[in-house]
């Protein structure tokens, strides 16, 4: 039994006159005079079938009963179409059908199987197998596979070995919450699903594998926000005998390779920026460089003129919205002020200075500042006639963050972000530790295995608390269009330094040993210098295809409650299963 | 900071005179007159370093303090060796060291890092990172990666798309035991880890993906036997609009590709055999065809001659051990009889017939049978002078199984299994259902989604109990050297037939809906005919490299108690974690 001689995207004008057998889904069927046309669809394309009432009325009647999404097999002759469809690869031909078999019927689908569907989110998730028949969804899954394969090609070519690390590992309280798996054979004991293969890839370096990678599922039991999934995929990588430069070169090369091979884009060398610089210029450690609009720090020119708000602020910072002076009425400014005062942004207010095209200067704080004063601001910000300055003030960190958000919003409003534009950036020299006031202890900014920069090692060992805050990590993020697509670091490979780091992070010696004893032990048997990086694979796919949502790039995503709507999981399990696992549910 | 200009497997005679920097592990160090030689090892090879007491005694002293597995970096000049080592790629050269830096020290490893190690299993599992520095272990993991990559290359070339299916799915009581994952956000509910992506790959066919594959982790909470792992890897595949022949051709092609590209072996076209034939000729559904020794069924010639044991037996079956008549003394025969009577085999006894080289016939049952009688047996078995017949009797099924084991044992003893010999075989037409006396119901021989052979569909719908036992499945196994390396089937794609199958397997309608409602529902929206296969990836790797244990091909295997000895998992979790999960441990 052969179901097809060709697929539905294959036939061309050269095939005219040939016999062909096709199988696929009925996309649409329409009647036109004595003819019935059926668009037959499979993964590869659509081919037009034609049934002629005059030639074979029984067959034609059979065709007229086909519903949308019926699965059929047809035999026929390829012939040239009179009205060709230039938008379709197979648009020059059609099949004059001689025989029709219905392989499977279909109920009427709950939403249309078209590029633009009328189905809501929940419905499309429940009937994911119908949603995936739509080109935009199908294409994204195929696109993902291409990126995965090109990743493997590139890395294997560079002597990386893909090694599968275990999924059933041990729970570690550090970081996000683990999913755990009760062990039936060891009552009261649990495995955990990995949040990342971090310790295993370091172990592989100690094992001498030199260059490791893995495209691997990771798991985090977090309260889900939009665009967070409990299981997600990483391109996880580690290299031995490397310094930061080796890692950056290798993965800049990989990223360029992916863009070249998958979407035909040549990326220029990636710029680099320190964490401090990024925070100073953009109020973000993942600045979107698709447009400029850098921060202008106005403390020197804006303070001490009697405007209380600024005088009491730690920071007065502005951005220059090019050519926007004429576009923002007072009403528009008020709306924008409301936007920055929303709780998600949290600014107290917004000050504008317009440098009008006629040379005049207008500002909401005009009564506190002379035109000369305001000109100083405009000059500092590089504003010209027609431009508008937007200024926020307050606590340094919060203000920078708020202005960073406003900058992105203005970029969107001013249409500065062009589709198909990709602006990668390495952000370097992150702080090693963050002080957390609530818990009164340090947190690792990257993770507890990140090495301090070489020149900071002695300072780290000194133990002085303030010195700790100033420590720089040998860590790096790859930012693309304002999203972090990869992050990594050179790792600690010395037991004493790792113990010191655990101590700074508030681990007792016993906790460190219980959780990471195997790694500390491994450091004592010839651990090489090593470092690595991990790409968020779902997000990389989304950004490379110009999309903002990762969910579309996952074949079977879960909803915001961590629920698979199609199979309806999670679900209750049998009482015997609980008994076997020595577990009892305490509340439902 | 650059740690190396070359790796340790790279330098050749052409490099003589060049400066080089190498980093790696001290494999061994030895003194010879005023010289100290150090073998420096990394993943790629070993390079000899030489330190000269006369040139730089301080440096030489430093070298003499290096212990095994120290991680060092050296600068020096490549020079030609006086006594070359032809067994090593780098054996023509050595590095005359000018500078030595210790990057990390090492304690004395608990076992030797040599191809043949003195470490026991438990110790090597605990220090897996040291075990993996040994070539035999390292090479197996790299070998595995090669097979994985070539698998992807072949399948993607054939228009397969690798799609990641979820790891957090729903528990189904059918089949082996699931690992479950409590859902914190849905108290009392659990995810399960997939035993295979079976239903998801069928859903992907219904979604129109046409050709799917995935190299994917699967999970089974079984009582572990040697060579079973709670997590294991499959090459999971599915195709639409295919009949059996399409699947066999595609994956025979893939297997040939892997053998050609990875180990340079050209495999001839794979023979095929029905399940019945395999059971009849070899007493096994996975016969090892590296040697012949087919069964001879002796009922016709051995029964009715007054030998009670045979007369009362359902089956009398023999194998012919070529040229073994002279090799087996009475004592040897007794030992062999003990071997078949061991509980693992379970035979009641063993009858031999020797056709001696001098033409005489000797048998333990000589008093029941004339030489003429026995000659009939020998003729039936194709035995010649010098050969020995070994005969078992009893219940048909059990006897065939026992004789199958004896056949394998004789193959080993007679050294008929040659290293590097690969004998693949497709076994076809398995029974659809197995009757289980204990539970009084049918079990699916392959799995509940397997289609009966086309010609058996009507019989299946009829519902007659005995007819059910005779149903053949459209299922196939790929056997290699006596091991099942892949199994698959054409699937049911019709809701009514699938419901019938669930009914035969003892599902109530409610159970079928609760567990597989989404699949039954999907069948109603245009499910195409489809089928697939799954390769046991760990085993495929083992067999292709001529090994019998899969554990060596897994980077971080678990022991027979499902425990990771290196990280010591599973382990207890914090009480707060249990509270968050609404769980209580009932016993420890």
Give the HSE-up count for residue A20: Cα atoms under 13 Å, Cβ half-sphere.
Answer: 25
Q: pLDDT value at position B386?
A: 97
Point out the least confidently predicted range of A450-454, A477-481, A553-557, B576-580.
B576-580
Chain B residues with CB-CB distance to A164 below 8 A = 217, 233, 554-555
Of residues A131, A97, A122, the one with CA closest to residue A23: A97
- Residues A126-152: what's their mean pLDDT? 97
The pLDDT value given to residue A91: 97
CB atoms within 10 A of CB B32: 8
Is the Cβ of B225 closer than 8 Å to some Cβ of chain A? Answer: no
Q: What residues pair up with A20 in beta bridges, in sequence order?
A: A76
B103 contacts on A by Cβ (under 8 Å): 528-529
Contact (Cβ atoms closer than 8 angstroms) between residue A409 and residue A328: no
What gap in Å lies between CA A284 and CA A288, rounded to an integer?
9
CA B294 to the chain's CA centroid: 24
Q: What is the pLDDT of residues B524-544, one digit of tens each?
A: 999 999 999 999 999 999 999
Is A205 in contact with A212 (CB distance < 8 Å)?
A: yes
Sign of CA dihedral B306, B312, B313, B315: positive
CA distance B162 to chain A (A): 6
Please report whether residue B370 resides in a domain: yes
Best mutation target, A191, A515, A522, to test chain B (most B CBs within 10 A) = A191
Residue A436 inside a domain? The answer is no
Domain boundary among B49, B75, B104: B104
Provide DSSP, A272-330. EEEHHHHHHHHSSSS--TTS----EE-HHHHSSSS-HHHHT-SEEEEEEETT-GGG--H
Task: Provide mean pLDDT across the span B297-304.
Answer: 95
Is residue B587 assigned to a domain?
Answer: no
Q: Note whether residue B500 is domain-resident.
A: no
Whether A16 shows a pLDDT value over 90: the answer reads yes
What is the percent of chain B with per-residue pLDDT over 90, rounded to a whole number?
Answer: 87
Cα–Cα distance for residue pair A280/A274, rounded to 1 Å: 10
Confidence category of residue A174, pLDDT binned at 50, 70, 90: low
Residue A518 inside a domain? The answer is no
- Rounded to 5°, angle at Cα A180 from A177 and A182: 160
Please report which confidence band the pLDDT of residue A542 belongs to, taking 50, 70 and 90 as the band edges. very high
Q: Helix/strand/coil (H, E, C) string of B371-435? A: HHHHHHHHHHCCCCCCCEEEEEEECHHHHHHHHHHHHHHHHHHCCCCCCCCCCEEEEECCECEEE
Work out the minimum CA distance from A583 to partner chain B, whole angstroms: 5
Mean pLDDT for A52-68 is: 94
A241 near B CB under 8 A: yes
Beta bridge partners of B51: B36
B1/A105 Cβ within 8 A: no
pLDDT surpasses 80 at A464: no
For residue B172, give the nearest of B452, B395, B505 by alpha carbon: B505
Whether omega before A115 lies within 30 degrees of 0, making that bond cis, reads no
Q: What is the mean pLDDT of residues A467-481?
A: 93
In which element (H, E) is residue A125 found? helix A121-126
Average pLDDT over residues A292-305: 96
Contact A505, A443 (CB under 8 A): yes
- The mean pLDDT of chain A is 95
> pLDDT tens across B231-282, in order?
999 999 999 999 999 999 999 999 999 999 999 999 999 999 999 999 999 9
- Rounded to the nearest 5 degrees, what angle is found at the Cα of B137, between the Cα atoms of B134 and B139? 100
pLDDT of amino acid A435: 87
Continuous segment of H or E residues that includes residue A434: strand A433-436
Residue B174's pLDDT is 66
B177: which 2 tokens? 């035991």
Report whether pLDDT(B588) > 60: no
In chain A, residues with a C-beta closer than 8 Å to the C-beta of B70 are: 526
CA-CA distance, B557 to A474, in Å (whole number)? 32
pLDDT at B6 over 70: yes
Given CB atoms, is B141 within the 8 Å cutoff of chain A? yes
Buried/exposed A71-109: b ≥16 CB within 10 Å, e otherwise: bbbbebebeeeeeeeeeebbbbbbbebeebeebbbbeeb
Strands (E) in A341-421, as ranges, are: 351-355, 361-363, 388-394
- Rounded CA-CA distance B574/B565 in Å is 21
Q: Cα A448 to chain center, whole Å?
A: 24
Give residue-wise pLDDT tens across range A141-161. Answer: 999 999 999 999 999 999 999
With an 8 Å Cβ cutoff, are A208 and B166 in contact?
A: no
Selecting from B128, B138, B564 the residue whose C-beta is nearest the C-beta of A169 gives B564
Q: Is B164 on the interface with A (CB under 8 A)?
A: yes
Rounded Cα distance, B388 and A236, in Å: 59
Q: What is the CATH number of the domain that holds B73?
A: 2.40.50.140
Tell me the pLDDT band of B226, cut-offs 50, 70 and 90.
low
In this structure, of A489-498, A560-569, B40-49, B459-468, the range with the lowest mean pLDDT score is: B459-468
**Are the beta carbons of B558 and B229 closer than 8 angstroms?**
yes
- What is d(CA A115, CA B398) in angstroms, rounded to the nearest whole number? 59
Q: DSSP label at A55?
A: T
Residues in chain A within 8 Å Cβ distance of B230: 168
**Residue range B498-514: mean pLDDT, rounded:** 92
* In contact, A156 and B145? CB cutoff 8 Å: yes
For residue B458, what pLDDT is reported? 87
Lowest-pLDDT choice from A332-341, A456-465, B57-66: A456-465
Alpha carbons A535 and A196: distance in angstroms, whole number: 11
Average pLDDT over residues A311-332: 96
Q: What is the ipTM of this complex?
A: 0.95
pTM of the model: 0.95
The DSSP 8-state label assigned to residue B107 in this structure reads P
Between CA B87 and CA B78 the distance in angstroms is 19
- Specify if A95 maps to a domain: yes
Is the pLDDT higher at B249 or at A458?
A: B249
In a domain, B32, yes or no: yes
Is B165 near chain A, with CB under 8 Å?
A: yes
Give the count of domains, chain A. 2
Would you call B163 and A182 a contact, using CB atoms and an 8 Å cutoff? no
For residues B266 and A500, give the distance between their C-alpha atoms in angstroms, rounded to a whole number: 56
**Cβ contact B258:B147 at 8 Å:** yes
B241 Rama sector, left if φ>0, alpha if ψ -120 to 50, beta otherwise: left
B360 touches chain A (CB under 8 A): no
Q: Describe the crossing of helices A396-413 and A330-341 by its angle, rounded to 10 degrees.
A: 130
Percent of chain B with pLDDT over 70: 99
Is the per-residue pLDDT at A108 higher than 70? yes
Range of the domain at A81: 13-104
More confident residue, A482 or A222: A482
Classify residue B46: in a domain, yes or no. yes
Length of chain A: 588
- CATH code of the domain in which B298 resides: 3.30.1360.30
Of A70, A104, A138, the last residue of a domain is A104
Chain A interface includes B249 (CB < 8 A) = no
- Helix (H), strand (E) counts: chain A: 18, 23
Domain boundary among B413, B429, B460: B413
- Total residue count of chain B as it appears in this document: 588
Lowest mean pLDDT among A401-410, A559-568, B333-342, B456-465: B456-465
Which positions in chain A touch B163 (Cβ < 8 Å)?
141, 145, 555
Confidence check: pLDDT of A300 > 90: yes
DSSP per-residue string spanning A254-277: HHHHHHHHHH--PPPPPPEEEHHH
Nearest chain A residue to B572 by CA distance is A189
Longest dimension (CA), chain B: 94
- Mean pLDDT taken over chain B: 95
pLDDT tens by residue, B351-389: 999 999 999 999 999 999 999 999 999 999 999 999 999
Cα angle: B425, vertex B219, B508; to 5 degrees: 90
For the stretch B28-77, pLDDT in tens is: 999 998 999 999 999 999 999 999 999 999 999 999 999 999 999 999 99
Closest Cβ–Cβ partner in A127, A556, A570 for B189: A570
Beta-carbon separation of B493 and A210 below 8 A: no
Reply yes or no on whether the pLDDT at B202 is more than 90.
Answer: yes
Residues 6+ apart with CB under 8 A from A532: A201, A212, A236, A237, A238, A239, A247, A488, A489, A491
For range B166-180, the mean pLDDT: 88
Contacts with A199 from chain B: Cβ below 8 Å: 567
Q: Is the pLDDT reported for residue B121 higher than 80?
A: yes
3-state secondary structure of B356: coil
Closest partner residue to A163 (CB to CB) among B243, B555, B564 is B555
């Amino acid at each position: 039994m052969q179901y097809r001689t060709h697929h539905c995207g294959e036939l061309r004008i050269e095939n005219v006159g040939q016999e062909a057998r096709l199988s696929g889904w009925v996309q649409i069927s329409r009647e036109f005079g004595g003819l019935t046309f059926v668009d037959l669809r499979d993964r590869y394309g659509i081919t037009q079938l034609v049934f002629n009432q005059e030639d074979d009325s029984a067959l034609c009647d059979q065709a007229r009963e086909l519903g949308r999404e019926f699965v059929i097999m047809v035999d026929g002759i390829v012939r040239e179409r009179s009205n060709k469809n230039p938008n379709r690869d197979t648009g020059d031909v059609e099949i004059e059908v001689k025989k029709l078999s219905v392989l499977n019927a279909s109920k009427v689908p709950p939403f249309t199987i078209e590029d633009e569907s009328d189905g809501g989110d929940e419905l499309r998730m429940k009937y994911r197998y119908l949603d995936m028949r739509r080109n935009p969804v199908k294409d994204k899954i195929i696109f993902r596979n291409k990126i995965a394969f090109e990743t493997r090609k590139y890395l294997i070519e560079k002597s990386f070995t893909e090694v599968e690390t275990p999924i059933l590992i041990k729970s570690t309280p550090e970081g996000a919450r683990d999913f755990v798996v009760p062990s039936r054979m060891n009552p009261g004991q649990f495995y955990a699903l990995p949040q990342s293969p971090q310790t295993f890839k370091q172990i592989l370096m100690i094992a001498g594998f030199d260059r490791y990678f893995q495209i691997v599922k990771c798991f985090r039991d977090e309260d889900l926000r939009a665009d967070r999934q409990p299981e997600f995929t990483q391109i996880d990588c580690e290299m031995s005998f490397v310094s930061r430069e080796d890692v950056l070169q290798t993965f800049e090369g990989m990223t360029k390779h992916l863009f070249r091979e998958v979407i035909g884009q040549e990326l220029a060398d990636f710029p680099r920026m320190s964490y401090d610089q990024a925070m100073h210029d953009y109020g973000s450690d993942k600045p979107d460089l698709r447009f400029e609009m850098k921060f202008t720090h106005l403390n020197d020119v804006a303070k001490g003129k009697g405007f209380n708000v600024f005088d009491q602020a730690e920071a007065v910072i502005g951005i220059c919205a090019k050519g926007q002076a004429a576009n923002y009425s007072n009403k528009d400014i008020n709306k924008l002020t409301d936007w920055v005062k929303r709780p998600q942004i949290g600014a107290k207010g917004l000050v504008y200075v317009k440098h009008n095209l006629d040379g005049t200067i207008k500002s909401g704080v005009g009564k506190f500042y002379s035109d000369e004063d305001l000109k100083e601001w405009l000059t500092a910000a590089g504003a010209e006639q027609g431009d508008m300055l937007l200024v926020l003030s307050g606590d340094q960190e919060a203000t920078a963050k708020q202005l960073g958000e406003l900058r992105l919003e203005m970029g969107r409003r001013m249409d500065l972000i062009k589709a198909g534009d990709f602006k990668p950036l390495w952000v370097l020299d992150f702080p090693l530790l963050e002080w957390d006031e609530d818990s009164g202890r340090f947190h690792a900014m990257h993770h507890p295995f990140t090495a301090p920069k070489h020149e900071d090692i002695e300072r780290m060992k000194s133990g002085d608390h303030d010195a700790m805050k100033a420590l720089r990590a040998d860590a790096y993020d790859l930012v693309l269009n304002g999203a972090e697509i990869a992050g990594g670091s050179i790792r600690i490979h010395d037991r004493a330094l790792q113990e010191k780091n655990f101590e700074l992070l508030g681990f007792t010696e016993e906790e460190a040993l219980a959780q990471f004893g195997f790694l500390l032990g491994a450091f004592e048997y010839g651990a090489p210098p090593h470092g690595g990086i991990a790409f968020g694979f779902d997000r990389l796919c989304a950004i490379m295809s110009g999309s903002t949502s990762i969910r579309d790039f996952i074949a079977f995503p879960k909803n915001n409650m961590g629920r698979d709507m199609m199979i309806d999981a999670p679900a209750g399990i049998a009482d015997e299963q609980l008994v076997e696992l020595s577990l009892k549910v305490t509340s439902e």
